[in-house]
Structure 1
Amino acid sequence: MNTGLRITTFAAALAATFGAAYGVGQGVGPVVADSPPKHADEHTPPAPEPEKGQGHAGHGTPPAGGLQISEGGYTLDLETPRVTAGERADLRFTVRDAGGRALTAYQREHDKELHLIVASRDLVTYRHLHPTRAADGTWSTPLDLPRAGGYRVFADFTPAKTGAENLTLGADLAASGPYEARRLPPASTTARVDGYEVKLSGALRPGEANELELKVSRHGEPVTDLQPYLGAYGHLVALRSGDLAYLHVHPNGEPGDGTTRPGPDISFTATAPSSGAYRLFLDFKHDGEVRTAAFTVRAGEAAAGPDTPEGHAEDGHGH
């Protein structure tokens, strides 16, 4: 597996409630806690200026993009404007080409044709979903958002045609209901979820590729038998606070390559597009269940400092 980084920059929150579809592949990925942080001393910084372009990069400053709902000749078509907070809905969307035709052929990447992320604007609620695709190209997945407010939906995929590049298209989603603003959780190098502890070391640096290492333990003992999830022992997504720039980071090594061990350490190489606060979401699988550990970090600052644990999974359902 190549170490990779895909970045997509996003805007604010609008629209999508969705009805059902049937099709190929299934699954709902990890769920992160949305309970309000007890320490709210971290303010969301102003959104950085968006940069044009997008794609993979391993060194230097990766190009940022994804404010567009359309890019590279493809459009993310959301079918309804909103969902209701606290109520289960079927999220439906279609990826369309420049001629308006539904895309029905995708390259499989990390065991899936398309990866769907839903995150709240305050980066407290996070969903990694695996929708199903009907024969007509319509994707659908169950979605239950706990709080009212603005969310960002983004689809990460590569069309199945020669020379096609990976794209992450973004669109806004609104969850209706009583709204309560939340602050970004405070910076921390430790996250705890369901009896597991994940410690982060390394630094996220603007314009510079750098290693991030996450060490997983359970009840004080190192976990050395992590299970593959999406073709790796860990799956890391980083979102920039303010504009929700999206960094999809792949691990260094893969199961079965002869050198990568199944824990306790999971290593990634990442490049931040700018300084500022980021939210990191690590998905890992153990004992047959996927869990998510969440961290707040600041690009340009070493991953060290106050050890305030946070980032437990919401309820573990749907993995």
Structure 2
Amino acid sequence: MNTASRLGLYGAGLVVVFGVAFAVAGAVVPDSAVASWTERGGDGHDEQSAEPATQNTDNGKEQGTDVSGVMIAASGYTIGAISAPGETGTAGELSFVVRGPEGEPVTSYETAHGKQLHLIVVRSDGSRYRHVHPVLDVGTGAWSLPWTWEAAGTYRVYADFTASDGPGVTLSRTVDVGGPFTPQPAAETRSTATVDGFDVSISGDLVAGAGSELTVEIARDGVPVTTLEPYLGAFGHLVALRDGDLAYLHVHAHGDEPAPGEVAGPEVVFTAQAPTADRYLLYLDFQVDGKVHTAPFVLDAVPADLSSNDTGDDHGGH
């Protein structure tokens, strides 16, 4: 199916709802209150059954949200301590166990986006992003994979999964890695990136409290790429983190799941809803010729009353 045909199917695009999460007892998180976002629809991740929380936004308005995401426990599931090398340059293993409502290790998971569990690892300044897929030992319930830290700092480790007969959950812990640490914070917005010879751009506005479209376009040597391959059930995979507290959003491209061997491009379209008018760090994974590439972006979400992309007015949206 070509790009034009696929974009014609986007009318029922995915809408992602973000939530605010506060650290629970025993959580290992930054000192600031932690907010989170939860994805609904299109991937088997159901709404979590936590009590609503209220957040004051920068424009003075309050919005009710569902508590979910960046916490060590949610919906009866808990992520145990992360075992990993304690310093840079040391080869070892990263591992952890997820426990269910009865306190026993979870050993049965649903497949979502082609995997039973997605592991996102990122340093506190938003750099050193990795999206990987550990292996489950069904005998012990331990997830693990070979691991080496390339740079020191404090890292957030997210486990995104759906246990069999359970809701979709994203749990998180932090890991401190010893060694000299030079922070690399996002100093300015960035809507273009060059990675492995690909030029990638992202257009559209993030709007606080309102759904808006983001369109990614990929080219190589000035030529639009039309050979994007399916990766994790879509032609693009987007993760976004709110700068400052690393609140988490996991969203895929519009459209049905591609068939094996199907290609698309150069555009991939997403719909996102930012909870507040803040800065967001975005990471796009895409696959060409069997290799996955990651393009980073930095966008600022604007208040809805200042946006030209207000989907609730007569302008017809994006």
TM range (shorter): 0.7 to 0.9
Contact 1:62 1:207 in 2 (8 A): no
With the length of structure 2 as denominator, give the TM-score of the two structures: 0.75
Give the CA deviation at 1:182: 2.3
Picking from 123, 127, 131, the partner of 1:120 is 123
With the length of structure 1 as denominator, give the TM-score of the two structures: 0.75
Please say if 1:159 is aligned against 2:163: yes
Contact 2:108 2:163 in 1 (8 A): yes
Please say if 1:74 is aligned against 2:58: no
Alignment of 1:222-237 (within 5 A): 222-237=224-239
Give the CA deviation at 1:145: 2.2
User: What amino acid is aligned across from residue 185 of structure 2 in structure 1?
Assistant: R
Contact 2:119 2:133 in 1 (8 A): yes
Please say if 1:56 is aligned against 2:56: no
Alignment of 1:49-198 (within 5 A): 50=34, 54-56=38-40, 63-80=66-83, 83-136=86-139, 137-161=141-165, 164-198=166-200
* Alpha-carbon distance in structure 1 between the residues aligned to 2:164 and 2:302: 37
Q: Provide the secondary structure at the position in 2 that maps to 1:56.
A: coil
Please say if 1:245 is aligned against 2:228: no
* Alpha-carbon distance in structure 2 between the residues aligned to 1:154 and 1:191: 24
Give the CA deviation at 1:51: 5.1
Aligned match of 1:5: 16
Structure 2 residue runs of 5 or longer lacking an equivalent are 1-11, 43-62, 309-318
Give the CA deviation at 1:143: 2.2
Aligned match of 2:47: none
Q: Provide the secondary structure at the position in 1 that maps to 2:86.
A: strand
Structure 1 residue runs of 5 or longer lacking an equivalent are 16-45, 304-319
The C-alpha deviation readout for 1:139-161, integer Å capped at 9, x for no partner, is 00122222111100010011111
Q: Which protein, 1 or 2, shows the higher relative CO under an 8 Å CA cutoff with sep ≥ 6?
A: 1
Report how many aligned residue pairs link the two structures: 266
**Aligned sequence identity (%):** 40
- Give the greater-gyration-radius structure (CA): 2
Contact 1:10 1:152 in 2 (8 A): no
* Alpha-carbon distance in structure 1 between the residues aligned to 2:274 and 2:147: 29
Give the CA deviation at 1:170: 0.6
Aligned match of 1:36: none
Aligned match of 1:220: 222
User: What amino acid is aligned across from residue 78 of structure 2 in structure 1?
Assistant: T
The C-alpha deviation readout for 1:61-114, integer Å capped at 9, x for no partner, is 863533420111010012537631232321011110132211011110000000
- RMSD over aligned Cα, in angstroms? 2.9
Aligned match of 2:292: 290
* Alpha-carbon distance in structure 2 between the residues aligned to 1:172 and 1:81: 11
The C-alpha deviation readout for 1:190-219, integer Å capped at 9, x for no partner, is 110011001110111111111000000001
